[in-house]
């Protein structure tokens, strides 16, 4: 269900995305409402499914899961019953954090947290390989995280910046500046 969000709703959601532990009173103060109307707005957003749940985000490395992998999977034949069986198997493997059914060359993309490559091999890879309809699998290990967020962009995107060309320094001519020979 899609609901209309006004500026105050968006401010509330931005605050909750950053810190779901904020009290209704703290949120109300920050968005310029009294506590009761703020609570009603939050309740309306929850009832509409805009706020799916409030949770704590844990740091995998500090809990002993420093290895992050993405696995692309192709199943055969791609029938509804094969896909349902595959999806049920995936739900039973705790180290698989996320599973997406995708369009393209692969059918699924899995996000996996592991204690080590050996842990992945023993607790995930071996179980996936036992799925009879698994046709092809490609595993990619993450070297470093460049960006990871759960925050949705609720404000309008800024206009794209115009590309900037490097300015020549000193006597250097700009590489795109035509050179005219002197007579």
Please identify every stretch of the chain with a pLDDT value under 50, giving residue numbers as ranges: none
| Domain tally, the chain | 2
Residue 125 lies in a domain: yes
pLDDT of residue 115: 98
Q: Is there a single domain that holds both residue 96 and residue 34?
A: no
Phi and psi based region of residue 144 (left: phi greater than 0; alpha: psi -120 to 50; beta: remaining): beta
Cis ω before 174 (30° cut-off from 0)? no
Query: Residue 133: which domain range?
Result: 61-141
pLDDT of residue 164: 76
Token pair recorded at residue 55: 């949770």
Query: Cα separation of 102 and 168, whole Å?
Result: 46
pLDDT of residue 51: 97
CATH code (residue 90): 3.30.70.920
Q: Give the 3-state secondary structure of residue 165.
A: coil
What would the pLDDT profile of 69-85 be if each residue is shown by its tens digit?
A: 999 999 999 899 999 99
What would the pLDDT profile of 34-51 be if each residue is shown by its tens digit?
A: 999 999 999 999 999 999
CATH code (residue 25): 1.10.10.10
Q: Are 67 and 116 in contact (CB under 8 A)?
A: yes
Query: Cα separation of 12 and 15, whole Å?
Result: 5
Q: Is there a single domain that holds both residue 75 and residue 121?
A: yes
pLDDT of residue 1: 59
């Amino acid at each position: 269900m899609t609901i209309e969000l006004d500026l105050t709703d968006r401010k509330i959601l931005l605050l909750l995305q950053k810190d779901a532990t904020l009290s209704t009173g703290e949120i109300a103060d920050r968005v310029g409402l009294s506590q009761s109307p703020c609570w009603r707005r939050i309740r309306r957003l929850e009832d509409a499914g805009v706020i799916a749940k409030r949770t704590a985000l844990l740091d995998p490395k500090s809990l002993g899961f420093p290895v992050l992998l993405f696995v692309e999977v192709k199943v055969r034949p791609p029938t509804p019953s094969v896909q349902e069986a595959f999806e049920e198997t995936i739900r039973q493997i705790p180290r698989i954090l996320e599973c997406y059914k995708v369009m393209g060359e692969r059918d699924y993309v899995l996000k996996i947290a592991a204690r080590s490559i050996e842990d992945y091999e023993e607790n995930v890879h071996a179980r996936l390989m036992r799925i009879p309809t698994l046709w092809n699998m490609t595993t990619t290990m993450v070297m470093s995280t460049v960006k990871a967020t759960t925050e949705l962009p609720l404000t309008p995107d800024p206009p794209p910046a115009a590309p900037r060309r490097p300015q020549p320094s000193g006597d250097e001519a700009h590489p795109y500046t035509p050179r005219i020979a002197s007579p």
